[in-house]
Amino acid sequence: MQQIIRPRRLRRTPSLRKLVRETRVSEESLIWPIFIREGENIYEEIPTLPGQYHYSPDQVYRAIERCLETGVSKVILFGLPKEKDEIGSGAWAENGVVQQGIRAIKEKYPDFYVVTDVCMCEYTSHGHCGILCDHDVDNDKTLEVLAKTALSHAQAGADMVAPSDMMDGRVEAIRDILDENGFENIPIMSYAAKYASFFYGPFRDAAGSAPSFGDRRSYQMDWHNGREAMRECELDLEEGADILMIKPALSYLDLIYQARERFDVPVAAYSVSGEYAMVKASAAAGLIDEYGVMCESAISIYRAGADILITYFAPELAQAIRKGDIG
């Protein structure tokens, strides 16, 4: 039998496989989450996230140097304040922990790109993402403090802000206050479809942000719903979002794909702490090849349509791209 069509022809050698790859990625598309803890001389590994660290503002240079060594050019900052209160006032304090971290980075590395997470859960004594009215988060009261927080980050030198709270109308509130204060060129990367996921456990330990009562299902999305995610994305774009994010990534590849097909803006995906921790734990138990699973998982996210990947594996993935293993 004469076989004219042989797909295996294009798989014969590494050089040929790289030539015909459909999904190509760049280290420029990676963002590394890092945790800034208020204090001094803090450089401590996070038990629930092996290989990730808490940095005090005076030690955050360690994270940036690792970025520069491996090829990562962007980070997203999360803050752990010493003190919390009912309204999370440390989130927008001029000398808050994230604001200190931004200034420390920009003082030494002025061209390094800094994104900031805008939320209240790390700063409130109750651990919820906004201002409480009894045991409910008051959406509209929360908008004011989110906007003040985003503005304080921009004033400290942040290059982009990323609201993760899932309050209705928060993108518009942030866009308005940024524009009114001369920060019209600061982009907003919206956590547009953020689900009430069980994959966040290690992060909540790392960031000290677990709610002290109840859960976040009244504002984060129900993981049964996909069409609702597209509505959330559409609303955020109408309010002025520049980039849409889907979070988590691996269990929501279908939504990354839908967002990519439907909206002509950059789409980001956040490969969250639970995804990272599962790979680390499985590798430590000798069950998987950590490097291979890391690369394969990342490619699945890009193949689904992500333009930007926020991941705790960013330094390792950047090196893999440089080596040509997934580039």
Q: How far apart are CA 20 and CA 100, in angstroms?
A: 46
Full DSSP string of 34-90: EEEESSSS-EEEETTEEEEEEE-GGGTHHHHHHHHHHT--EEEEEEE-S--BTT-GG
Is residue 120 a contact partner of residue 58, using CB atoms and an 8 Å limit? no
Full DSSP string of 221-287: BPTT-SHHHHHHHHHHHHHT-SEEEEESSGGGHHHHHHHHHH-SS-EEEEE-HHHHHHHHHHHHTTS
Q: Which amino acid is at 129?
A: C
Catalytic residue among 18, 194, 280, 323: 194
Q: What token pair was written down for 23?
A: 């999904």
Instruction: Answer yes or no: 280 catalytic.
Output: no
Q: How far apart are CA 17 and CA 197, in angstroms?
A: 36
Q: By C-alpha distance, which of 270, 294, 269 is closest to 280?
A: 294
Catalytic residue among 74, 148, 247, 280: 247
Distance of alpha carbon 100 from the chain centroid: 20
- Report whether the peptide linkage leading into residue 110 is cis, meaning its omega lies within 30 degrees of zero: no
Q: Is 45 exposed, middle or buried (0-12, 13-18, 19+ CB in 10 A)?
A: exposed
Instruction: Answer yes or no: 247 catalytic.
Output: yes
Strand partners, 137: 132
Is residue 79 a contact partner of residue 36, using CB atoms and an 8 Å limit? yes
Q: How far apart are CA 203 and CA 35, in angstroms?
A: 10
Catalytically annotated residues: 194, 247
